[in-house]
Amino acid sequence: MTASVTDQIRALEALAAVDAELKVLGDDLQQERSALDSQRGKLNELEEKLKNDRAHLAAIDKLRNEYVVEVRTMMQQLEHSREKMNRARNEREANAAQRELEELRKLIRDREDEVGKLTTDADGARQQIDAAEQEAKKVSDELGATEGGVRSKLAEIESRKAERETARAAAVKDVPPQLYRRYDMIRQKRGTGIAQTTTGTCRACNMSLPPQLFHRLRREPMIEQCPSCHRLIYYVPPQAQASAEVSEKS
Ligand SMILES: [Zn+2]
């Protein structure tokens, strides 16, 4: 009976050690993936911005070209009005032609001002596009350089994880099914399923155990649950604690 509980504790410790490794591997996978995802996201954002900036520039250029054509047409009208003025047969006709000329000149000046403003806007938009293109190229190059490395790292972690999953399946077989179910339920909720006590404190949650419970745990090998964190708890003598800590960290 006593040997059996000791064996159960050993089996739980072996399983908990594999689970700790799996947790690290899972975290590593997530970290590598999110680094890659964030670079990809950045590139997508830049490409989206470039698309908008290019459409904006095309709209400015289109309007500017329309205004340039308008100015050209009004210049022709101006020429026409000048001829009309030269041909004026009386003062009334001359005045009318003069007014037409002045109006056209004003319209042409306004349109030319607009063309000037649009040219400035277009230059600004082009500079922004150039900067975004350079940034996108930089991110794309970085992604190209790291992607291969990250992919092989991911594959390596995946294969280690698969190997540890196999080890876990073997470790699970050494734990009595009912105990395993309790362990795994706690592990899923708390991240880890077992805890030790040496001085009457749960080493997982640092809460003091009721003296009677600690007394029972210390009297003979026994697996109980910590009343605070519900992890499966057992007693580890002071000298064994040091070696347990070393094996936990390695
Ligand atoms: Zn606890």
Say if residue 144 is exposed, middle or buried (CB neighbours under 10 Å; 0-12, 13-18, 19+): exposed
For the stretch 39-91, pLDDT in tens is 999 999 999 999 999 999 999 999 999 999 999 999 999 999 999 889 989 99
SS3 208: strand
For the stretch 152-184, pLDDT in tens is 999 999 999 999 999 999 999 999 999 999 999
For ligand 1, the distance from its centroid to the CA atom of residue 193, given in whole angstroms, is 10
For ligand 1, the distance from its centroid to the CA atom of residue 189, given in whole angstroms, is 13
Tell me the residue ranges of DSSP E strands in 136-243: 194-197, 224-225, 232-235
pLDDT of res. 232: 98
State how beta strands 194-197 and 224-225 pair: unpaired
Neighbours of ion ligand 1 (CB under 5 A): 202, 204-205, 226, 228-229
pLDDT of res. 162: 97
For the stretch 114-159, pLDDT in tens is 999 999 999 999 999 999 999 999 999 999 988 889 999 999 999 9
Whole-prediction pTM: 0.69
Confidence band of 3 (pLDDT split at 50, 70, 90):
very low
What share of the chain has pLDDT > 90, as a percent? 88
Residue 178: beta bridge partners? none
For ligand 1, the distance from its centroid to the CA atom of residue 172, given in whole angstroms, is 22
Q: Which has the closest alpha carbon to 170: 45, 9, 15, 10?
A: 15
Query: Using alpha carbons only, what angle is made at residue 213 by residues 210 and 215, rounded to the nearest 5 degrees?
Result: 105
